[in-house]
Structure 1
């Protein structure tokens, strides 16, 4: 079973610091490198089919965005890192897809690690994917584990020159990507909230044995969301406090807005986790209550039949000389007597409010 929280890192055991080892899902397809260079006047997009092709140099003006999909081809990451003078320790963190979200401030760039939440199309669950950003003076490198992301609206804004993104630097591009990541958190949280509401309604109207498995899955997802969003909030707070020239004062205001959204998402996660725990306790309580009701009914039935069984046992003894043994109306009278005993016991139980 693949762990939801910890990825296998046996290949890194004993390796020297800075050794480039991919920690994550092993894949056989090619790593995709997409290049987008833009300024206020124009946009140029291309794909590097082979990393041996000429990698664009950071422009003197405008923004160079290089997005990498797939981290399993270490040579691609190594060449990009060498081209942009990224230290091996940073590249090691890029390849470690089980890394905790964080912010590192270097002399020539900022290194940001966050987690994307991507909804699975064939199930009601989601997967986590690490996103690493290296923010330079005129360039931004983004590294993702898999193809597909939440950045299509950002690419559309760049191509259509919507908003201020084309007139801003790479710091604003980093903001736009992080904003898309955090906004997607709310979509995942909304789906979980809707499923919890459905479970709550099912629990109160028509509970099912499969509800318990759904409760455990949603609670597990809530724990994972807390593990993802909490450090992202800390990293965004660090970007707000960063005094380096790579974050313009005008852009720092937008990072404050993302931080507020991350705090709000964290509050929702805590609420959903508490709700999942409460519903789980309610589910177990309802099951226990139903079992107690069943045991209560069975106990009352057994209690009623105890004196009836005694009477039937007495008159079932094989003695020749017994009172009422040879009465013509003995059998129906005994049945009526047993019925009367049962009715009196039911009346007594009702009066005691045991029924």
Structure 2
């Protein structure tokens, strides 16, 4: 799988206000439309797609009193996954890895999550995301997302991102098995670059999942009042998922190493077959060359040169020698 970064997109905002017995959706065009919800006790999720409108991001920062350094981390899409705690909110920076329409190119996108007492804000680089399942779960009035706090909602968003790592690993694993079958069947179209492309995909997942595990570990140890005790078991479960992904990565990495060894061994076997064929041909021609060399010398007295059947005899000797060596090599199972 190839790896690419998402292209810049215009900024879009959608708002979900929810509780145990209600769910409201809004398409936000101006930050002034958000202000009324800040003075209510109702929980809401603001999803912002596209980070190019710096003036809009500054308005969001002022509106929610986000620390200026936190906003810099949000706008800088080359951050490592991490967690930062502030007085009235928590910033979670993560990396979302996905593919579009099952193509072979990996998309790596930074997703920043900010949550406070009654709000969750997600900042994405592009409108495309993997949160459709989150939106579907919000439709269920009996689900935990409606009943629990913003810390649990943030957990569900991060859980969707981590679960996507499983999907990527599964896709890479299937590709590795396919390459292994093709190599064993000696498919001539397989190249070493095909194997290293899968290795590159695994390295991209590993580069992001390791700091993600550290970030989740810091979150579950957090003493912030924004993290409720009943949410901690879910955070612990998310941590276990990250550990499991790392273990799967090591298994996949060993599979890649084995695949490279099989590929190189296969090439060596092919080269050995070619060398054996050339050696057999050279061995057959050595005595023929010797005989031809002897009778190609310009001596005055060589009885066979004036013999009536000399030419035919030489050809009989050539053919007899060749057939004898072919039969010998065949019995030795050299070919």
**Does the 8 Å contact 1:33/1:67 carry over to 2?**
yes
Q: Is structure 2 residue 152 aligned with structure 1 residue 172?
A: yes
**Displacement after TM superposition at 1:326 (Å):** 2.5
SS for the counterpart of 2:114 is strand
**Displacement after TM superposition at 1:43 (Å):** 1.2
Q: Distance in 2 between matches of 1:52 and 1:107?
A: 24
Q: Distance in 2 between matches of 1:263 and 1:59?
A: 40
Equivalent in the alignment of 1:326? 306
**Does the 8 Å contact 1:105/1:111 carry over to 2?**
yes
2:283 to 288, 303, 310: 303
* Residue 55 to residue 317, structure 1, CA distance change in 2 (3 Å): farther
* Residue 133 to residue 280, structure 1, CA distance change in 2 (3 Å): same
SS for the counterpart of 1:131 is strand
Equivalent in the alignment of 2:273? 293
Q: Is structure 2 residue 244 aligned with structure 1 residue 264?
A: yes
Q: Is structure 2 residue 209 aligned with structure 1 residue 246?
A: no
**Does the 8 Å contact 1:62/1:169 carry over to 2?**
no
Equivalent in the alignment of 2:173? 193
Structure 2: state its 5+ residue gaps.
Answer: none
Equivalent in the alignment of 1:336? 316
**Displacement after TM superposition at 1:183 (Å):** 1.3
Comparing 51-60 with 76-85, greater Cα deviation is found at: 51-60
Q: TM-score, normalised by structure 2?
A: 0.92
Comparing 268-277 with 77-86, greater Cα deviation is found at: 268-277
Mapping of 1:14-163 within 5 angstroms? Answer: 27=8, 29-51=9-31, 53-58=33-38, 60-121=40-101, 123-163=103-143
**Displacement after TM superposition at 1:317 (Å):** 4.2
**Displacement after TM superposition at 1:91 (Å):** 0.6
Q: Distance in 2 between matches of 1:325 and 1:56?
A: 116
Q: Distance in 1 between matches of 2:55 and 2:6?
A: 17
* Residue 68 to residue 103, structure 1, CA distance change in 2 (3 Å): same
**Displacement after TM superposition at 1:251 (Å):** 0.7
Q: Distance in 2 between matches of 1:274 and 1:280?
A: 10
**Displacement after TM superposition at 1:122 (Å):** 6.2
Q: Distance in 2 between matches of 1:140 and 1:58?
A: 11
Q: Distance in 1 between matches of 2:259 and 2:240?
A: 29
SS for the counterpart of 1:165 is helix
1:280 to 256, 260, 267: 260
**Displacement after TM superposition at 1:165 (Å):** 1.0
**Does the 8 Å contact 2:115/2:150 carry over to 1?**
yes
Q: Structure with the greater relative contact order (CA < 8 A, sep ≥ 6): 1 or 2?
A: 2
**Displacement after TM superposition at 1:258 (Å):** 1.0
SS for the counterpart of 1:263 is helix
Q: Is structure 2 residue 205 aligned with structure 1 residue 225?
A: yes
Comparing 207-216 with 246-255, greater Cα deviation is found at: 207-216
**Does the 8 Å contact 1:175/1:255 carry over to 2?**
yes
CA-to-partner distance for each residue in 1:301-325, whole Å, 9 max, x for gaps?
1122122122123323455542211
**Displacement after TM superposition at 1:175 (Å):** 1.0
**Displacement after TM superposition at 1:338 (Å):** 2.2
For the aligned residues, what is the CA RMSD? 2.2
* Greater share of residues in helix: 2
